[in-house]
Structure 1
């Protein structure tokens, strides 16, 4: 019985009423290394407009994800809610990097 339990977590927002209110984060890869040593891509999806921003990543680590998110937030502003399929610890580390003084 325990081995049939679905442990994947799919968290989706309820009703989204404005652009950039709720974002979904996904990391895809590894892909063949680019000329800039990128092997992964961060996809940020706005749940209201379905707009997708993509950011290349050299590493699939919290610091790299935080830097990519910061670049996107500089362009569009921060979001009220962010949903990710990553582990809680990973997301907490990304948040910590985003909040550090630069």
Structure 2
């Protein structure tokens, strides 16, 4: 079931389609449909990329960066498999919205201190203080230490 859903032939279909595909492959058991629906409900990728049907409608706001390196988006890619050559599992990525320039580092653990050091050393020191920093509000990307760094950096 897992290989059909996620493997070479698996486009992460819904539970009933997964059951039908398994039947076409010659498999059958009495609780097949309910098992497939449960499996799809617990699939991480299906949950992350599923349609947000229950999300309320919002107005679209265009995000235009007025000049290079003024607006950065930051996120963490976790965990990578296999590990990096230095044993790190996570990748911290910052992308400039104007030029699409990417700055990235690998990390053993994503702490507020590591994110602040990355911001200071790899973004602010090289490109200046960004006007806008966009994150997904994760605790390691949006915390008191980062707020203080941004507030302190505005005085330069």
| TM-score scaled by length of structure 2 | 0.50
Does 1:98 pair with 2:149? yes
Cα distance between partner residues in 2 of 1:83 and 1:55: 18
Q: Which residue of 1 aligns with 2:129?
A: 78
Give the structure with the higher percent strand: 1
Runs of 4 or more above 4 Å deviation: none
Structure having the higher helix fraction is 2
Residue 23 of structure 1, aligned match among 24, 49, 72: 72
The 8 Å contact of residues 16 and 22 in structure 1, kept in 2 or not, is answered as yes
> What's the RMSD between the two structures over aligned residues?
3.0
Q: 1:88 to 1:28 in 2, by over 3 A?
A: closer
1:76 and 1:59 map into 2 onto residues whose CA distance is: 25
| Structure number with higher relative contact order (C-alpha < 8 Å, ≥ 6 residues apart) | 1
Query: What is the TM-score when the length of structure 1 is the normalising length?
Result: 0.72
Q: Distance in 2 between matches of 1:63 and 1:45?
A: 20
Which structure has the larger Rg over C-alpha atoms? Answer: 2
> C-alpha separation between the residues in 2 aligned to 1:89 and 1:36?
21
Structure 1: tracts of 5 or more residues without a match: none
1:69 offset after TM fit, Å? 1.6
Report the secondary structure of 2:88's partner residue. Answer: coil
